[in-house]
Homo-oligomer: A and B are copies of this chain.
Amino acid sequence: MFKEKAIEALKNAGFKLTKPRMWIVEYLDGNKNHPSAVEIYDDLRKDKKYFSFATVYNTLDTLVKAGAIKQITVDPTCSRFDPDISEHGHFVCKICNKVYDLENIQIDFEKDYIAEIEHIDLHIKGVCKNCKKQ
Contacts and interface: CB of A to CB of B under 8 A. Distances in A.
A71 B118 CA distance: 23
A47 interface: no
Nearest to A132: B115
A73 B123 contact: yes
Contact of A121 (B106, B110, B123): B123
14 contacts: A73-B73, A73-B74, A73-B76, A91-B113, A93-B113, A100-B114, A103-B110, A106-B108, A107-B108, A109-B124, A113-B129, A120-B122, A120-B124, A123-B123
A105 B107 contact: yes
A94 B118 contact: yes
Interface of A: 71, 73-76, 79, 89, 91, 93-94, 100, 102-110, 113-132
Copies of this chain, complex-wide, total: 2
Contact of A113 (B75, B79, B100, B121): B100
A24 to B, nearest CB: 18
Contacts of A110: 102-104
Contact of A109 (B75, B117, B122, B131): B122
Given A89-B109, A107-B105, A109-B89, A120 B118 contact: no
